[in-house]
C-alpha cells in the first residue's frame, strides 16, 4: 500500500511540516520505502519531484522537508510497491495535460482486473494499476467533455462518479488536482483537517517536531491538509467514509 498527502490553500503555503511527517513513513516509521513524489503547483504550472529511493534516505526529500516551496495545491505520495516494480515510471504522482491544464494524481490501494480498464487518449508509461486508472479517468473525462466542461466543477463531479466505479476493482483512495480544485476520494481511509485562525500549535505523530502555525500564517490563511492517516497527534482530523468524495478549492471544502 502507500500513503497520500494533499494540500489546498488560499495563499501560497509550504508543506515542510506535513512532508516531514510523511517522509518518515517512507522507510522509517512506515514501510513505504519504494519511492516517493510531490507535486507543487504555481498557478497552472507544476513541478513534480519524484524518486524511486526511500523518502527517509533521499537527499531530495530532505531538501523538500527543509526548503519552503510555497504553493496553493500540492499532492504527495510515498509508495509501497504492489503492482509494478520499483522504478521512476511507476512512482507517483502521475501527471497529464488536459484542456490546457496539468492534472496530477496519486493513488493508495490495489486494484484487481484493472487490465480491462479502457483508455484512449492517455497511455500508461509504467506498469502500475494506479497509472492505468489515471489514464482511464482522464480518457473518460475527455470523452465526456470533448471541448472542456462549461464549469470545471462538472469535471470533478464526473470524476467522483468514475472513482466510485473504480471501487469495484479494489481499493481506490486517491487525490487529483488541476492546480486549483483538489478532489479527495475515500475508498477505505483518508482524513483531512482545515486550519484557519485562531491557529494553534501542532505536533507531528512520526517525529518529535512542533510547529506554532500562528507564527507562520496571517489571520486570513485557510489551509487544508489531506492524508491517509493523521499526521499530527494533537488535532482533530475529519475521517472520510468509504465512497465519500470531498472537493477543495483554495483551502475550503466545497
Nearer of residues 107 and 195 to a copy of itself, judged by Cβ: 107
- Half-sphere exposure of residue 185: CA atoms within 13 angstroms, side-chain side: 27
Active site residue 16: no
* Binding residue count for a copy of itself, defined by CB under 8 A: 33
Nearer of residues 81 and 190 to a copy of itself, judged by Cβ: 81
Is 46 one of the binding residues for a copy of itself (CB under 8 A)? Answer: yes
Is 87 one of the binding residues for a copy of itself (CB under 8 A)? Answer: yes
Among 12, 31, 57, 101, binds a copy of itself (CB under 8 A): 101
Is 125 one of the binding residues for a copy of itself (CB under 8 A)? Answer: yes
In whole angstroms, what is the distance from residue 31 CA to residue 194 CA?
A: 27
Is 83 one of the binding residues for a copy of itself (CB under 8 A)? Answer: no
Nearer of residues 63 and 201 to a copy of itself, judged by Cβ: 63
Which residues, in sequence order, are CB contacts of 171 under 8 Å at separation 6+?
1, 108, 109, 110, 111, 187, 188
Is 92 one of the binding residues for a copy of itself (CB under 8 A)? Answer: no
Rounding to the nearest 10 degrees, give the CA dihedral for residues 44, 213, 237, 46. Answer: 10
Burial readout 235-250 (b: 16 or more C-beta within 10 A, e: otherwise): eebeebeeeebbbbbb
Is 234 one of the binding residues for a copy of itself (CB under 8 A)? Answer: no
Query: How many other CB atoms sit within 10 Å of the CB of residue 40?
Result: 24
Catalytic residue IDs: 2
Amino acid at each position: 500500500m502507500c500513503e497520500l498527502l494533499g494540500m489546498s490553500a488560499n495563499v501560497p503555503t509550504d508543506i515542510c511540516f506535513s512532508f516531514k511527517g510523511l517522509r518518515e513513513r517512507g522507510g522509517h516509521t512506515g514501510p513505504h520505502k519504494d519511492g516517493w513524489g510531490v507535486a507543487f503547483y504555481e498557478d497552472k504550472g507544476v513541478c513534480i519531484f519524484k524518486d524511486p529511493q526511500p523518502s527517509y534516505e533521499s537527499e531530495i526529500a530532505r531538501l523538500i522537508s527543509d526548503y519552503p516551496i510555497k504553493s496553493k495545491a500540492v499532492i504527495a505520495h510515498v509508495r509501497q510497491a504492489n503492482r509494478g516494480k520499483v522504478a521512476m515510471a511507476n512512482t507517483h504522482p502521475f501527471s497529464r495535460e488536459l484542456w490546457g491544464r496539468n492534472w496530477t494524481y496519486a493513488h493508495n490501494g490495489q486494484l484487481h482486473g484493472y487490465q480491462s480498464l479502457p483508455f484512449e487518449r492517455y497511455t500508461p508509461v509504467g506498469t502500475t494499476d494506479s497509472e492505468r486508472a489515471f489514464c482511464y479517468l482522464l480518457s473518460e473525462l475527455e470523452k465526456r467533455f470533448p471541448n472542456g466542461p462549461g464549469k470545471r466543477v462538472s469535471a470533478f463531479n464526473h470524476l467522483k462518479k468514475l472513482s466510485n466505479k473504480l471501487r469495484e476493482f479494489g481499493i481506490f483512495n486517491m487525490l487529483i488536482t488541476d492546480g486549483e480544485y483538489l478532489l479527495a476520494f475515500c475508498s477505505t481511509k483518508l482524513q483531512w483537517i482545515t486550519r484557519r485562525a485562531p491557529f494553534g500549535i501542532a505536533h507531528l505523530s512520526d517525529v518529535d517536531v512542533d510547529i506554532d502555525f500562528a507564527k507562520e500564517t496571517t489571520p486570513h490563511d485557510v489551509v487544508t491538509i489531506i492524508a491517509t492517516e493523521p499526521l499530527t497527534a494533537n488535532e482533530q482530523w475529519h475521517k472520510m467514509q468509504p465512497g465519500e468524495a470531498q472537493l477543495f478549492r483554495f483551502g475550503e471544502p466545497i
